[in-house]
Structure 1
Amino acid sequence: MKSWIRLSGTIAIAASLSGSLLAGCSTGKQQGAAETGKKQPIELVFYQTGNADWKEEDFMKNYGDYIKQKFPYITPKFVPVPASKSMEGLISGGQQFDILIFSIGHTHLNLLRNDFQYDLTDLIKKKNVDLNRFEPFTIQQQKEIAGGGIYGLPLSNTSPVIMYNKDIFDKFGVPYPKDGMTWDEIYNLAKQVTRNDNGTQYYGFLASPEHFLKTNQFSAPFIDPKTLKPAFDNPKMMTFLDNLKRFYQLIPPPDGKPLAGGFFASTAQSNMFAKDKTLAMWSHFSNAALNFPEDLNWDYAAMPYFKELGAGGPQAYPGYIYISKTSKYKDDAMDVLQALTSDEFQTIRSKTGVESALKNPDIKKTFAQDLPKYKGKNINAIFPQTYAAPAPLTEYNDLAWKRLNTAVGDIGRGQKDIVTAVREASELLAKDIEAEKPKK
């Protein structure tokens, strides 16, 4: 995940971690907390991707203060990621980790590739962890990755949604997008607001390609998990790409030149929507709104659906919390995992704009209650009634995403047709995978 936008869990929750905390968590007995007086002090080392700018105080506000309150004998230590050093660089330098926090997109890249995975099945039984509390797809995804086991507990969730600028729609007298629309209906709205007005070009719809593709509603894989061959050319993915292409075709090329790279990059799209205010509709994860300026007149609409699929949401993009196989304190670490996935803590996070991976509807109702900019917003749009099934993942998906992103740019600029762009991307990905295999 690009560091320009913060994933779930990056909003400070220190104000909520005062004496107002409820007395107990709702995930079953907290083994470590009850025995605090008998425990010897220990240190648990945490590592998290997706927050390259985090410092120790950021981690403490988001997680550490809560952990200290629940388990005074535990000292949480956060290892920031310096810009000059990767996780592998930290490991080679002798750094040890106890608890790891990764989005699903980083799980293969950082957890499995570095051989940190540890099956929690026995600890889940020992601690009476109720997996039925979580959204089913989050557990299904873990079991698929772990071959029937489970490496991590769902810590957060997010999925794409449409954010739209009300002022642009008002300016041109076009009705707002709403929940339950088809992609054809969204396309018709995009056509109506893609205009040049007194020298200012307005654009109808853009989507962050990386996030859009990862959560595609067809659950189309990027790589065949059995053969490890590229799967870009499967019919479902081709349909998904064709749908995206038509939105780029609405955009007039500047002076007859191909579209600039910014039309295919999250940062530039964010600026077009929130800063320049020239983009009418933007699809990204819902927490992109955390960075919106206060004067932006915006709202949410649910992701549209494909007629052939029927009403239903995209895939989700959960964040998970893992225990490293190298940890000497797995039992204590599991107590921490229970605390951070409790109803209590998940409610605190939800109020700060972090989507919970729990099914509890009461927690979902608290979403962003502490953030004034969300007042009156269509919060229901970010919680699909049904999510698309998780597509199969492999340890090479990060290579696949990069190749397909490039292909989307070529397609969107009109430089290559879909068949050619996908074929070439597949050929390059096959070479990438072969080059990566010896490193395992």
Structure 2
Amino acid sequence: MRLKKLLSVSLAATLALGLLAGCNGSKAADPEQEKVLRIGVLYGSYDDSYFRQQYTDVYEFTHQNVRIEVVPAIDQSQYRYQDNSQPYVQPDYLDNMKKIMTGSNPVDVVVTDTSVLNQLIKENMVKQLDPLIQEDKFDTSDYVPAVIDGIKDLGEGSLYALTPSFSSSALYYNKKMFTDAGVEPPTDNMTWDDVFNLARRVAKGEGKDRVYGFSFNRYVGNDPFWDMQYSYVNSLQLKTYDDKAETMTVNTPQWTKVWETISKLSKDKVIPDNTSNPMDGSDWSSISSDLFLSGKVAMTIGESYYINEISDANNNASKIKNFKPVDWDVVTLPSHPEKPGVGGNIWLSNTFAINSAAPNADTAWDFIKFINGEDWAKLKSRSNSYEMLARKSYIKPKSGLDYNIQAFYLLKPTPPNDPKQDKLMSEKPGLYSVTDSGRKFFQEVLENKKTPAEALKEWEEKGNKMLQEIKNNPKTQFQEDGTPFVPQEGAAADGTIIKG
């Protein structure tokens, strides 16, 4: 009997392996023809187990004549040993990726975000995939349109990469708050003004009992200046300074309108500001620090994985002091009338492309097909990932829940930042301070000390002076009061000399 069971298990395992190999079109392994597939990633360390578990283990298991090497463009292990007195220098992701794509032993596959991918496409460093897709009749019709179109936009209508998953965000809302206020809840494809008008109608209460209508994020201690930068300003693609980082571009009617809109919402207590903290130090918890879960805001922007946190809290409601389960749903993020249907916060952090100089281009394409195929999506749909699958057929609501899951992928994503801007930030570290200096002027608007137009004009003047300092010396940085300084070589940003 025992022998019979062993034979049955062995036969089942053999059939399963055969099925996996058959589904993915791989040939029988030939140890004498082992191939090495080198995959370049933006950053990594001595431990690449997470990346392997996510993307490569199953492929190696079903393609046993292929051995995969993961090659990070930036080895983050180095930061474990960095002296804390040394100033942090932003690495140049693009240049580091290009280094591992060239030379005597270039990587075959490139895994990167859309910002770096965009520049690699412009420099003809990755292969166009459309001919390979057509030749192999690889089906992309099931892809989320916002994902596939977002990648096509980078290649001016052509595909240079594919991604098996994506991250996204949507507008979460508390159903009960809208019902109690007698206000119709938000819907898909609303404008920002539509959402702000709803927020005014459901906001209520005073002091610590204040319930806000909307928040750009769910965390206590919001900063309206930076909050509006990420979700509101970025979708308009407004810039703080020009492409050469020489002249400020904030003293315009469009910037004025943005500051007028957001400052009024803050002053009217429709959205929380950095003084809106309903807790004292003794009250902190994962619920009280969350404006949405604690019932302090009717609508907020949240990532797709926030669903897991809400579900977990609701399932454990009986164990949480003063907490009632939240009845919620989601709709698409609002968009600006100037850019209808655009503004989805979709992040494609792992796009897979083929190096134009790949020694093993055929194997690279076989791997990309595999992890972007239906079998891989079906397998991954059973796990509770932080990302959503790019194939629509396998995007399902979390087990036991019913919500508008399409809200996470209906909108077209905001175009990615130009990697040249990232390069500027790396070469000129003081640019962050130029943007951050706007916080002081926006705060003066909130305190009714200046009008938005006056504050933006002063930000322009202050920023231009800072940009001139940076132009004179790209290494210039700024103290909190705006005083410029240039860190000496071998010194920390505060002037401390680094020994050794």
User: Which TM bucket (shorter chain)?
Assistant: 0.5 to 0.7
- Which residue, 379, 388, 400 being the options, matches 1:355? 388
**Do the aligned residues in 2 keep the contact of 1:105 with 1:398 (CA within 8 Å)?**
no
1:191 is aligned to 2:191: no
Aligned partner of 2:395: which letter?
Answer: F
Match of 1:382 in 2: 408
CA distance in 2, matches of 1:377, 1:185: 21
Match of 2:38 in 1: 44
**Do the aligned residues in 1 keep the contact of 2:36 with 2:69 (CA within 8 Å)?**
no
| Cα offsets for 1:263-290 (capped at 9, x unmatched) | 9xxxx99943356442332124434434
Deviation, 1:112, is 8.7
- Which residue, 174, 181, 186 being the options, matches 1:177? 186
Aligned partner of 1:47: which letter?
Answer: V
**Do the aligned residues in 2 keep the contact of 1:323 with 1:334 (CA within 8 Å)?**
yes
**Do the aligned residues in 2 keep the contact of 1:169 with 1:193 (CA within 8 Å)?**
yes
> Structure 1 length as normaliser, TM-score?
0.65
Match of 1:423 in 2: 460
Provide closer, same or farther for how the CA distance between residues 160 and 237 of structure 1 changes in structure 2, counting only shifts above 3 A.
farther
Aligned-pair identity (%): 16
**Do the aligned residues in 2 keep the contact of 1:22 with 1:344 (CA within 8 Å)?**
no
Match of 2:88 in 1: none
CA distance in 2, matches of 1:311, 1:304: 9
Match of 2:224 in 1: none
Provide closer, same or farther for how the CA distance between residues 189 and 47 of structure 1 changes in structure 2, counting only shifts above 3 A.
same
Aligned partner of 2:412: which letter?
Answer: Y
| Cα offsets for 1:408-427 (capped at 9, x unmatched) | 74566345736347636864
| Cα offsets for 1:155-204 (capped at 9, x unmatched) | 43344410123455466565433324333332133224434468334332
Match of 2:132 in 1: 124
**Do the aligned residues in 1 keep the contact of 2:344 with 2:409 (CA within 8 Å)?**
no
Deviation, 1:248, is 2.9
Match of 2:114 in 1: 104
Deviation, 1:294, is 1.6
CA distance in 2, matches of 1:260, 1:207: 15
Q: Secondary structure at the match of 2:418?
A: coil
1:259 is aligned to 2:296: no
Aligned partner of 1:302: which letter?
Answer: T
Q: Secondary structure at the match of 1:152?
A: coil
- Which residue, 306, 312, 317 being the options, matches 2:347? 317
Provide closer, same or farther for how the CA distance between residues 232 and 285 of structure 1 changes in structure 2, counting only shifts above 3 A.
farther
Match of 1:15 in 2: none
CA distance in 1, matches of 2:67, 2:33: 12
Larger radius of gyration: 2
- Which residue, 369, 373, 395 being the options, matches 2:420? 395
Deviation, 1:367, is 1.9
Deviation, 1:396, is 0.7
Q: Secondary structure at the match of 2:290?
A: helix
Q: Secondary structure at the match of 1:65?
A: helix
Provide closer, same or farther for how the CA distance between residues 106 and 41 of structure 1 changes in structure 2, counting only shifts above 3 A.
closer
Match of 1:204 in 2: 213
| Cα offsets for 1:10-64 (capped at 9, x unmatched) | xxxxxxxx98969535xxxx5xx23643741425345256xx8995442233212
- Which residue, 262, 281, 287 being the options, matches 2:299? 281
Provide closer, same or farther for how the CA distance between residues 100 and 377 of structure 1 changes in structure 2, counting only shifts above 3 A.
same
Match of 2:312 in 1: 294
- Which residue, 79, 85, 108 being the options, matches 1:84? 79
Provide closer, same or farther for how the CA distance between residues 302 and 330 of structure 1 changes in structure 2, counting only shifts above 3 A.
same
Provide closer, same or farther for how the CA distance between residues 396 and 313 of structure 1 changes in structure 2, counting only shifts above 3 A.
closer
Provide closer, same or farther for how the CA distance between residues 368 and 129 of structure 1 changes in structure 2, counting only shifts above 3 A.
same
Provide closer, same or farther for how the CA distance between residues 224 and 171 of structure 1 changes in structure 2, counting only shifts above 3 A.
same
Mapping of residues 57-68 of structure 1, within 5 Å? 57-68=49-60
1:336 is aligned to 2:367: yes
Match of 1:11 in 2: none
CA distance in 2, matches of 1:289, 1:106: 30
**Do the aligned residues in 2 keep the contact of 1:206 with 1:247 (CA within 8 Å)?**
no
CA-based RMSD: 5.2
**Do the aligned residues in 2 keep the contact of 1:44 with 1:74 (CA within 8 Å)?**
no
For structure 1, the 5+ residue unaligned runs are 1-17
> Structure 2 length as normaliser, TM-score?
0.59
Which deviates the most, 198-207 or 402-411? 402-411
Q: Secondary structure at the match of 1:396?
A: helix
